Amino acid sequence: MVEYAYFNKQFMPVSEAKIGIMTHALHYGTACFEGIRGNWNGDEGKMYLFRVKEHFERLLKNCRILKIGLPYTADELCRLAVELAEMNGYAEDIYIRPLVYKSAQAVGVRLHNLEDDFLMFVVPFGNYLDVEKGCRCCISSWRRIDDTMIPPRAKITGIYVNNAMAKTEAWENGFDEAILLNMDGHVSEGSGENIFIVVDGKLVTPPPSDNILVGITRDTIMTLARQELGIETVERSVDRNELYVVDECFLTGTAAHVTPVVDIDHRMIGDGKVGDITRRLQDLYFDAIKGKNPDYLHWCTPVSRKVLA
């Protein structure tokens, strides 16, 4: 089966989409990306892209930070993503990766006077972390990048060296995921996820000013909690020691979905099992992303399959 990408303003086989060795973004991390999930609904035999427009709106905002002029509107980008998903015709969960990057074949650290370009590809993508049993986390010895260094709200590729340092340290030490503190010592987020805790029946999550990436899944969970469970989310700083004594904790992200955290720094969270509020939010979330809840169909963009299994 040929896999297709969008590259140089056209669809083409992935095997033909190549960039030059002098590409600026490769050397200096001058690119912005998104991660969008297509969720396969086996009952309907249908794929739904989740909150695809919000992802492209975030990408367009982030382009401003990196001084990249992306010559598409969010709606045009959505249409390209749907078309690409259709061309690839997967009958399983997928992950779409759009990337805007400084494509100039040029040496020199800067953002100005460089051409840029846009590409997008699709890969089949199952679970990133264990959503059933939950994950075991550590507090990273690496600190989350500060807004005075590289804007953390932007998904700039160069930032992700910081996340990769934390993830690999965690993994090599026998944990599933890292939780990073910011430069003030407050909890920021996971290496690719936002973090929530449950305190006295309420949800608490760090605010954008604690250098988080303002996640679309984070917003999804806050909305579902409020509308479906009547639970408000308090956005406030969280300290490391508070994590050790919370009732429940979970991570959210396009890749990670809603992943329960059952252990942090070898301290069991709650009774070490998936918490009640976490499970209820997970159920609501999985129904919503697969287009199974009519109240949230506006978040789901259907993809028709051209290639039948």
Burial of 236 (0-12, 13-18, 19+ CB in 10 A): exposed
* Helical ranges in the chain per DSSP H: 24-28, 52-65, 74-88, 160-172, 216-229, 240-243, 276-289
Do residues 181 and 174 touch, judged by C-beta distance below 8 A?
no
Which lies closer to ligand PMP via its Cβ, residue 176 or residue 189? 189
* Parallel/antiparallel/unpaired status of strands 194-199 and 267-268: unpaired
Q: Which is nearer to ligand PMP, 134 or 253 (CB)?
A: 253
Min dist CB 119 to ligand PMP, Å, is 18
Considering the complex, what minimum distance in angstroms separates the CB of residue 188 from ligand PMP?
9
Minimum CB distance to ligand PMP, residue 193 (Å)? 5
Which stretches of the chain bind ligand PMP, using CB under 6 A? 35, 163, 189, 192-194, 213, 215-218, 252-254
As a whole number of angstroms, the distance between CA 10 and CA 75 comes to 17
Q: Which is nearer to ligand PMP, 193 or 248 (CB)?
A: 193
Instruction: Give the span between the Cα atoms of 111 and 113, in whole angstroms.
Output: 7
- Half-sphere exposure (CA, 13 Å, Cβ side) for 183? 10
| Cα distance between residue 218 and residue 215, in whole Å | 5
Please compute, for residue 63, the number of CA atoms within 13 A of its CA located in the half-sphere on the CB side.
23
Q: Which H or E element spans position 239?
A: none
Active site annotation includes 133? no
Q: Max alpha carbon distance in the chain (Å)?
A: 56
- Choose between 12 and 164: whose C-beta lies nearer to ligand PMP: 164
Nearer to ligand PMP, 114 or 166 (CB): 166
Please report how close the Cβ of residue 270 comes to ligand PMP at its closest, in angstroms.
23
- DSSP state, 36? E
Structure tokens at 71: 């010559």
Residue nearer to ligand PMP on the CB measure, 89 or 155:
155
Looking at 53, 61, 133, 155, which residue is catalytic? 155
Please, which residues have CB within 8 angstroms of residue 10's CB and are 6 or more apart in sequence?
Answer: none
Q: Quote the least distance from Cβ 218 to ligand PMP, whole Å.
A: 6
Rounded to the nearest whole angstrom, what is the least distance from the CB of residue 209 to ligand PMP in the complex? 15
Q: Sign of torsion, CA 89 95 100 104?
A: negative
Q: How do the residues of the chain divide into helix, strand and coil, expressed in percent and rounded to 5?
A: 30, 30, 40
Residue 268 φ then ψ, to 5°: -65, 135
**Which residues are identified as catalytic?**
155
